[in-house]
Amino acid sequence: MLRQETRDAGIAVLLGEGVRKAEERAARYDKAATWAVWSFAGVAIGILAFIIGTIFFRGITTALTPSFVFGKPQAIQAGGGIWPMIVSSFYLAFLTIAIVLPVGVGAAIYMSEFAKEGWITRLVRFGADSLSTVPSVVFGIFGMVIFVIYFGLGYSLLAGALTLTLLNIPTVMRTTEEAMAAVPHSYREASMGLGASRWETVKKIVLPSAMPGITTGTVLTVGRIVGESAAIIYTVGLFVRKIPTSPLQPAAPMAANIWHMYTEGALVSDWMRVANGEAAFLLIVVLVLNLLARLLAKVYQKKLGTKEAR
């Protein structure tokens, strides 16, 4: 009898020991996992910092001076600048926005305010999803076939802008739809209750309230356009040295020109320097646009007193 009790007590002690060990091991794993995810995030941020740091450092130490930024590119001798490329990048961006913004916002208005769920909306969503997954180089050669050759636009800012419109429709649509979804339903009901039509409600109530989201989305889209290269080298061009004056002229936006410098660089003896400077300048433009978008969102948020969604 007594023996039985002793044995039970012994088992209890052993079990307790096992549980303690398991707990210890769990705590060890927990610590290791915590450490691991900290280092993963550290690596991710480290990569970002390293890339930005390297590009800036190279650009600033080798190239970025006012005479480089505002200078004329050279065909053969060293010492050329990139001003026409900068102008081309922004020209292309504004031309694209001028086309994609009305179309994308219009599509978003239809999807969120007018359409009933059905086969049309399903087709549109499928189209937008597909467009956002198709590689940009495919857009590029499609634009080349249809806009450059078939419509006879030649290598031109317009052909590039039309190509980039297709590329950016899904993003503009999505950001606009999100912005409109954030407008409370009571606004619409109030407006329509007062006798306004659906379109009047959209125009006077929904769009103005969604404007902050649309503006932020547009600034981010400008950033994407300025950074895009694969879709434009066979629609806009990549080695023109003139400042474009008409949408029907070819141009060489920065992103395309960096690639050109690297593929055909030997033409200019200081191609490394030009590409370094151009990469740094392009990165600065993109970062500034990102910050601007964030700043705009914050300003609007304060003005409207609403909380940011995320």
Partner 1 sequence: MARERYIKLLLMACASLSFLAILLIFIFILRESMPALTKVGFGNLFTSTDWNPDKGSFGILAFLNGTILTTLGGLIIGAPLGVGTAIFLDQVAPKKMATVIRRGIELLAGIPSVVIGWFGLIILVPFIARITNSSGYGIAAASVVLAVMVLPTITALSVETLRSLPIELKEASLAMGATRWQSIRTVLLPAAREGILVAVILGMGRAIGETMAVQMVIGNSRQFTLSLFKPTATLTSRLVTDMGEAPPGVFRSSLFAMALVLLIFAMLLIFSVRMITRKRKA
CB-nearer residue toward partner 1: 95 or 101: 101
CB-nearer residue toward partner 1: 209 or 257: 257
Least separation in angstroms between residue 3's CB and partner 1 is 34
- Pair of tokens at residue 120: 């049309």
Q: In sequence order, what are the residues at sequence separation of 6 or more whose Cβ sits closer than 8 angstroms to the Cβ of residue 130?
A: none
Least separation in angstroms between residue 81's CB and partner 1 is 18
In angstroms, the CA 126 to CA 12 distance is 62
Least separation in angstroms between residue 5's CB and partner 1 is 29
Q: DSSP character for 116?
A: P
- Pair of tokens at residue 136: 């940009």
Least separation in angstroms between residue 221's CB and partner 1 is 11
Going by C-alpha positions, the residue among 113, 121, 116, 115 that lies closest to residue 202 is 113
CB-nearer residue toward partner 1: 210 or 279: 279
In angstroms, the CA 96 to CA 227 distance is 13
Q: DSSP character for 144?
A: I
Least separation in angstroms between residue 8's CB and partner 1 is 25
Least separation in angstroms between residue 1's CB and partner 1 is 35
CB-nearer residue toward partner 1: 14 or 33: 33
Amino acid of residue 228: E
Amino acid of residue 17: E
Question: By three-state DSSP, how is residue 81 classified?
Answer: coil
In angstroms, the CA 202 to CA 207 distance is 6
CB-nearer residue toward partner 1: 16 or 106: 106
The residue written with tokens 């547009």 in the block is 218
Least separation in angstroms between residue 33's CB and partner 1 is 4
Q: Are 148 and 234 in contact (CB under 8 A)?
A: yes
CB-nearer residue toward partner 1: 10 or 53: 53
Least separation in angstroms between residue 34's CB and partner 1 is 6
CB-nearer residue toward partner 1: 157 or 255: 255
Q: Are 165 and 100 in contact (CB under 8 A)?
A: yes
Q: Are 155 and 237 in contact (CB under 8 A)?
A: yes
CB-nearer residue toward partner 1: 87 or 124: 124
**DSSP state letters, 240-287:** --SPP-STTS----HHHHHHHHHHSGGGSTTHHHHHHHHHHHHHHHHH
